[in-house]
């Protein structure tokens, strides 16, 4: 089965840049989606098609995908960005695969 | 407004059964592939299964841990999705979310309900 690995946590100061890696075998050949989940809430898509943002998601959120790593970048981090972030791909052998999740803490 | 509202969660003993519902509104439900995703306490997201639209045969797919125990169905006349949970195990304890699927260049879930909690405990 296909596995996606994320760091458990990332800490960042307000105004700085947070980068969250999502590692998977040749993930660059797949299309990655990123979800943000705040405590007690349902996940929300922040990036789809590797780097596209849904309407309403700030431009501070961006994504890239190449080789064995996809990356979610949050620029000019704000307190409201504190949340868990999950990457997700679709794999023909595993169907939907989620990463293990990364907790972003704003210092 | 697109809206999904889950219900039916609760406390059940191991080996027991429960039926979850997901009421949909604000979109053409009979034209939407629907999925269930769960999240155990303090853990990550886990896809449970899906049901396709009738035009695509209405087929279902399930994740390995629930195959043979869980059943997904839909009633398009009531704009409602169901998840029947049988032979429940302690490890099925989770918040269960229903979600609409996007099936285009990428496959993902774009609209989620708020979830309903299932607790399996003796």
* Residue B48 predicted with pLDDT over 90: yes
Which tokens sit at A12? 């960042």
**Cβ(B10)–Cβ(B118) below 8 Å:** yes
Question: What would the mean pLDDT of B25-51 be, rounded to a whole number?
Answer: 97
Between CA A69 and CA A24 the distance in angstroms is 6
In eight-state DSSP terms, residue B91 is G
Q: Which of A43, A30, A17, A5 is nearest to A104 (CA)?
A: A17
- The closest CB to that of A33, out of B37, B47, B108, belongs to B108
* Residue A93 predicted with pLDDT over 90: no
Contact (CB<8Å) B106/A33: yes
Please name the residue ranges forming H helices in A1-107. none
Between CA A20 and CA B32 the distance in angstroms is 31
A1, A42, A92: best to mutate for the B interface, most B CBs within 10 A: A42
- Residues A2-21: pLDDT tens digits? 999 999 999 999 999 999 99
Question: What would the mean pLDDT of B86-105 be, rounded to a whole number?
Answer: 96
Range B76-82, long-range pairs (CB < 8 A, 24+ positions): B76/B29, B76/B30, B79/B23, B79/B24, B79/B25, B79/B29, B80/B21, B80/B22, B80/B23, B80/B24, B81/B21, B81/B22, B81/B24, B81/B34, B81/B36, B81/B51, B82/B19, B82/B20, B82/B21, B82/B22
φ/ψ of A29, rounded to 5, equals: -90, -5
Q: What percent of chain B has pLDDT over 70?
A: 100
- Within an 8 Å CB–CB cutoff, is residue B46 touching chain A? yes
Which tokens sit at A19? 């980068």
In eight-state DSSP terms, residue A79 is G
């Amino acid at each position: 089965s296909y596995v996606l690995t994320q760091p458990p946590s990332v800490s960042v100061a307000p105004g700085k840049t947070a980068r969250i890696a999502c590692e998977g075998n040749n993930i660059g050949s797949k299309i990655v989606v990123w979800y943000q989940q705040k405590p007690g809430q349902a996940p929300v898509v922040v990036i789809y098609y590797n780097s596209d943002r849904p309407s309403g998601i700030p431009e501070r959120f961006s994504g890239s995908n190449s080789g064995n790593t996809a990356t979610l970048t949050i620029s000019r981090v704000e307190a409201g960005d504190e949340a868990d972030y999950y990457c997700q791909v679709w794999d023909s052998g595993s169907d939907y695969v989620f990463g293990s999740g990364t907790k972003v803490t704003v210092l | 407004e697109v809206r999904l509202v889950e219900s039916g969660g609760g406390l059940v003993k191991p080996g027991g059964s429960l039926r979850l519902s997901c009421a949909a509104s604000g979109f053409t439900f009979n034209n939407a592939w629907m999925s269930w995703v769960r999240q155990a306490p303090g853990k990550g997201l886990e896809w449970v299964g899906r049901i396709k639209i009738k035009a695509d045969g209405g087929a279902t797919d399930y994740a390995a841990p629930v195959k043979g125990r869980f059943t997904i169905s839909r009633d398009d006349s009531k704009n409602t999705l169901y998840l029947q949970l049988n032979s429940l195990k302690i490890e099925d304890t989770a918040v269960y979310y229903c979600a609409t699927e996007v099936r285009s260049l990428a496959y993902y879930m774009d609209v989620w309900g708020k979830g309903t909690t299932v607790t399996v405990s003796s």
